[in-house]
Amino acid sequence: MPPVISQQGNAITIVFTGTHEGDPESCIYSIGTTTYPLNGYAAGSYTLQVDRRYLSFSAVWIQETLGVVPFTVTGGAPPPVPVSAPTLSVPSLSLLFLALASFAVWRLHSRRA
């Protein structure tokens, strides 16, 4: 299951879903590392909180924080600027409606003939 990444302001949280085994002898997984890409962020200071959640024996979800990592983004690309998309003005919309109405009348007239 992919991790869930959320952001509120400059606080980023990533939650991994996994399992928990209290006895190291019973654990079936080896120790390892993995890498997950995050989004691109604008220049500034951030904190990344890494959590894991697992289902307990009593079928209750338990979530615990593994660590909090502060980091700074410098020289990054600025956030994208919204671009306005052109829309029809009232005269253009009227002209489009007139053209569609004319086409409909022409099609009805040509069917009768």
Give per-residue pLDDT as tens, 26-45: 777 777 787 877 778 888 89
Torsion, Cα 93 99 100 104, to 10 degrees, reads 160
82 domain residue, yes or no: no
- Cα distance between residue 45 and residue 73, in whole Å: 6
95 domain residue, yes or no: no
65 domain residue, yes or no: yes
51 domain residue, yes or no: yes
16 domain residue, yes or no: yes
83 domain residue, yes or no: no
Domain count, the chain: 1
Beta strands across the sheet bearing 44-55:
4-8, 11-18, 44-55, 61-73
Residue 12 domain boundaries? 4-73
98 domain residue, yes or no: no
Give per-residue pLDDT as tens, 80-109: 788 777 777 888 888 889 999 999 999 888
42 domain residue, yes or no: yes
- Cα distance between residue 6 and residue 97, in whole Å: 45
- pTM of full prediction above 0.85: no
Determine the pLDDT at residue 37: 78
Give per-residue pLDDT as tens, 47-82: 999 999 998 888 899 999 999 999 998 875 666 788
